[in-house]
Amino acid sequence: MPLRLRFPWIHGQSLPDGVRAGRRAISPEERVDYVRRMFSAIAPRYDLTNTVISAGLHLPWKRRTVAALGLRMGERALDLCCGTGDLARMMAEAVGPNGSVVGVDFAAPMIAEAAQQTAPSPRDGAPRSSRRAFLIGDAMSLPFAPASFDAVAVAFGLRNVADPAAALREIHRVLRSGGRLAILEFARVPNPVFRALYDLYSFTLLAGLGRLVSGHPDAYWYLPVSVRHWLDQAAMLRLLGETGFVNATCRNLAQGVVAIYRAEAGARGA
C-alpha cells in the first residue's frame, strides 16, 4: 500500500495566518497581486533564504541551467522572472563583453536588488562582462521585439506566472527561430516514499526555516502549495510542445525535486 501524507494546504484551503493559496481558493487576479507583494517583501533576504532552504544547492542548479543553454560569446540572453539576478550574472560571464543580458521581473524590489548586486564597485573599474540591464516587466507581455534573443532562462519563476502558457508563447515570440530555452523549476518526485518525505519536509522544516530567515509570515507556506499544484515533468514537456517549442528534454535533479527543461523555439507558426 503506497504511503500517502495529506496536508490541507495542498488542496487549496486556507494557509496559516489567513493567507489563501492554491488555484481553487484564490482568483487569478488576487494571486498575481499576492505573489507580487510577497516577492517584493522578501527581496532583501531572498538570496539568504534560498541558500538556507536549499542547503546551498540552488546556485549549482542555476549554473547547470545556464550551461544547458550552450551560450556563446556575443549572444543576447534574457533572464525572465530574474529575482535578484543570479542567472543574469552567470549568463553575462558566458556571453562575454560583446554579448548582452536583460533581466526581467514583475517585483520592483527584486529588480532593485539585482541591479545593486550587479553594479561594479569603484575599485573594479569598467565592467568586463556583457552589457546588462534589469527591467520591471510582465512575463506574459514582454517589451521586446520578436526574435530579440538567442537564449532565455527561467529559474523558479514560471510556476508563479498567472498563465504559464501565455508566458511560454511570449518567450517563443522574443526568441529567434532555433533559439534556446532553459527552465529550472520544481517538479514531481517519482518515488512515492521520497515524495511523501519531501512533502513532510516542505510543510514543516522548509516552511519554518523560510519564515524564520525571510521574516515573512507566509511566503514559504505558499512555496510548497504552489509546487503541489504545478505540472509534472510529462505535462511540462507537453506544454512546451503546445507553445511552439521543439526538441524539449527534461533532466531531473535531486531525485526529481527540481528539473531542468531545455527546448528550442520552433519556426514561426509551427
Average pLDDT for 195-217:
71
Give the pLDDT confidence score for residue 114 in this predicted structure.
Answer: 94
Q: How many angstroms separate the CA atoms of 83 and 62, rounded?
A: 12
Percent of the chain with pLDDT over 90: 56
Q: What is the DSSP letter of 15?
A: P
Give the domain range for residue 257: 8-265
Look at residues 119, 118, 108 and name the one whose alpha carbon lies nearest to residue 87.
118
Q: In the block, which residue shows the cell 530567515?
A: 213
Average pLDDT for 45-65:
88
Per the structure, the count of domains in the chain is 1
3-state helix/strand/coil string of 159-220: HHCCCHHHHHHHHHHHEEEEEEEEEEEECCCCCHHHHHHHHHHHHHHHHHHHHHHHCCCCHH
pTM metric for this prediction: 0.84
Q: Is residue 148 part of a domain?
A: yes
SS3 at position 68: helix
Q: Is residue 70 part of a domain?
A: yes
Q: Is residue 71 part of a domain?
A: yes
Q: Is residue 77 part of a domain?
A: yes
**Residues 218-252: tens digit of each pLDDT:** 656 677 778 888 999 999 999 999 999 999 999 99
Q: Is residue 115 part of a domain?
A: yes
Q: How many angstroms separate the CA atoms of 83 and 114, rounded?
A: 7
The answer to whether 3 touches 192, Cβ cutoff 8 Å, is: yes
Q: Is residue 255 part of a domain?
A: yes
Q: How many angstroms separate the CA atoms of 138 and 103, rounded?
A: 12
- 115 burial type by CB count under 10 A (0-12 exposed, 13-18 middle, 19+ buried): middle
Q: Is residue 16 part of a domain?
A: yes
- Taking residue 103's Cβ as centre, other Cβ atoms within 10 Å add up to 29
Q: Is residue 3 part of a domain?
A: no
Give the pLDDT confidence score for residue 152 in this predicted structure.
Answer: 98
Pairing of strands 245-253, 258-265: antiparallel
90: cell is 552567470
| CATH number of the domain where residue 36 is located | 3.40.50.150
* 150 pLDDT higher than 50: yes
Burial 36-75 (b: 16+ CB within 10 A, else e): bebbbbbbbbbbebbebbbeeebeebbeebbebbebeeeb
